Amino acid sequence: MTSHIMPTYQRLPVTFARGQGAWLWDDNNNRYLDALSGIAVCNLGHAHPAVHKAICAQSEKLLHTSNIYGIAVQEQLADKLIEKSGMDNVFFSNSGAEANEAAIKLARKYGHERGIDSPAIIVMEKSFHGRTMATLSATGNAKVQQGFAPLVTGFVRVPYNDIPAIEQAISDNNNIVAILVEPIQGEGGVNIPADDYLNQIRALCDEHELLMMLDEIQTGIGRTGEFLCFQHNGIIPDVCTLAKALGNGVPIGACLARGKAATILTAGNHGSTFGGNLLACSAALAVLATLDAENLIEQAELKGQQIAKALSRILQKNTHIVDIRHKGLMIGIELDKPCAELVTLALHKRLLINVTNEKTIRLLPPLVIDAEQIQQLIDTLAALIQEYTRSAVN
């Protein structure tokens, strides 16, 4: 049968019908272990009762009004995000790209208010910020940009995890107003920068009065063992974007701002019909409450440690493993050759994984993954990698 979906995704030959925690069942009732969480979206696992209850209860009362009226659950969610992040206020969107669009507009207006007519934002090689025109222009991946010129201007690109390159870009260009960076690059290959990278960026932004803007769309909401990844560093950015796991599958994004960044966007500057609507905000409130109630952020730290350690031990003699790196439950296993086929091989073993930047296996299991599932993940994946590197890579 021909599909009438525009073919923007290369889809794996499986269709899921239901889920529970880290399990998914396909339409033939085969059970799979989900070590990807819909790409860092379902951090609480599938069909979490707290999210289910919240959206059912909200849908009985009211789904949508408009941002031209007060919205109590939106206020509550903003309060909670501010309390947990140390930021000052929030703009709600429906996706990650839209959260980043808000950040980019905010940075440009910040520049204009400082008399800079053509503001520029420093962005990184191998970054990913979304698929809208501005965010794909900010993204450091030629494949994402291919065919869509003319790109949005006003981005200056430097290598990731390279502080001298940022210093050089700042001294070369008087129009720099902000630095936009992922605390860990997800799509770019689970690239974890030096421990003090964010601290150094914070210091440079302070020195040159630039906005430090962190894209925490993949790293946020407990994934790395802190609520937000920057909290490992004891710093606070000026702008921080969230989406993915914020609604555990209900679409919602957020652009958080602090201090001077919190007063830039004013009435008429930005908006969204659906952004921060009652359904999405009630889901996100349930997500934040559950992270605390089930102690899931600490578990991300412990479980990530356990998985990475076990894989390192089992694969220590495998010379095709370049690196195993992780922060919490954001895990990358880099091989010495392209290994995209592993996704299909894992699917045959009823395990859902991902390969990014061609050579890096990416694991983003739900934070609720249990001990038995962790063992199954380790055993299945390690065996698969051993088998694959013995045959295909050589």
Ligand X SMILES: *Cc1c(COP(=O)(O)O)cnc(C)c1O
Q: Binding to ligand X (CB under 6 A): which residues in 24-43?
A: none
Is residue 129 within the footprint of ligand X (CB under 6 A)? yes
The interface mask with ligand X, positions 171-190, x = CB under 6 A, is -----------x---xx---
Active site residue 128: yes
For ligand X, the closer of residues 126 and 320 by Cβ is 126
116 burial (CB, 10 Å; 0-12 / 13-18 / 19+) is middle
Is residue 243 within the footprint of ligand X (CB under 6 A)? yes
Binder of ligand X out of 37, 218, 290, 356 (CB under 6 A): 218
Distance CA 171, CA 82 (A): 34
Catalytic residue among 92, 128, 227, 230: 128
For ligand X, the closer of residues 43 and 100 by Cβ is 100
Is residue 275 within the footprint of ligand X (CB under 6 A)? no
Cβ distance 239 to 254 under 8 Å?
Answer: no
Active site residue 244: yes
What's the min distance (Å) between Cβ of 312 and ligand X?
25
Distance CA 138, CA 131 (A): 10
Query: Tokens in use for 123?
Result: 């962005």
For ligand X, the closer of residues 130 and 189 by Cβ is 130
How many Å is the maximal CA-CA distance in the chain?
Answer: 63
What's the min distance (Å) between Cβ of 354 and ligand X?
12
For ligand X, the closer of residues 140 and 186 by Cβ is 186
Distance CA 81, CA 285 (A): 9
Is residue 96 within the footprint of ligand X (CB under 6 A)? yes
195 burial (CB, 10 Å; 0-12 / 13-18 / 19+) is exposed
Among 188, 186, 252, 174, residue whose Cα is nearest residue 219: 186
Binding range to ligand X, per CB under 6 A, among 158-166, 167-175, 210-218, 363-371: 210-218
Nearest residue by C-beta to ligand X? 96
Task: Write b or e for each residue in 131-165: b if 16 or more Cβ atoms lie within 10 A of its Cβ, otherwise e.
Answer: ebebbbbbbbbeebeeeeeeeeebbbbbebbbbeb
What's the min distance (Å) between Cβ of 393 and ligand X?
28
Binder of ligand X out of 130, 193, 332, 366 (CB under 6 A): 130
For ligand X, the closer of residues 58 and 100 by Cβ is 100
Active site residue 92: no
For ligand X, the closer of residues 216 and 238 by Cβ is 216
Beta strands in 262-309 (DSSP E): none
Residue corresponding to tokens 């601290």: 199
Is residue 101 within the footprint of ligand X (CB under 6 A)? no
Half-sphere exposure (CA, 13 Å, Cβ side) for 237? 28
381 burial (CB, 10 Å; 0-12 / 13-18 / 19+) is buried
Binding range to ligand X, per CB under 6 A, among 101-109, 117-125, 211-219, 337-345: 211-219
C-alpha distance from residue 58 to each of 62, 278, 284, 365 (Å): 6, 7, 12, 28
For ligand X, the closer of residues 100 and 376 by Cβ is 100
Catalytic residue among 80, 109, 155, 215: 215
- The secondary structure of residue 110, as a DSSP letter, is H
**Non-local CB neighbours of 2 within 8 Å, separated by 6+ positions:** none
By CB under 6 A, the count of residues binding ligand X is 15
Is residue 119 within the footprint of ligand X (CB under 6 A)? no
What's the min distance (Å) between Cβ of 215 and ligand X?
5
Which residues participate in catalysis according to the annotation? 128, 215, 244
Kindly list the residues in this chain that would bind ligand X in the complex (CB under 6 A): 95-97, 100, 128-130, 182, 186-187, 215, 217-218, 243-244
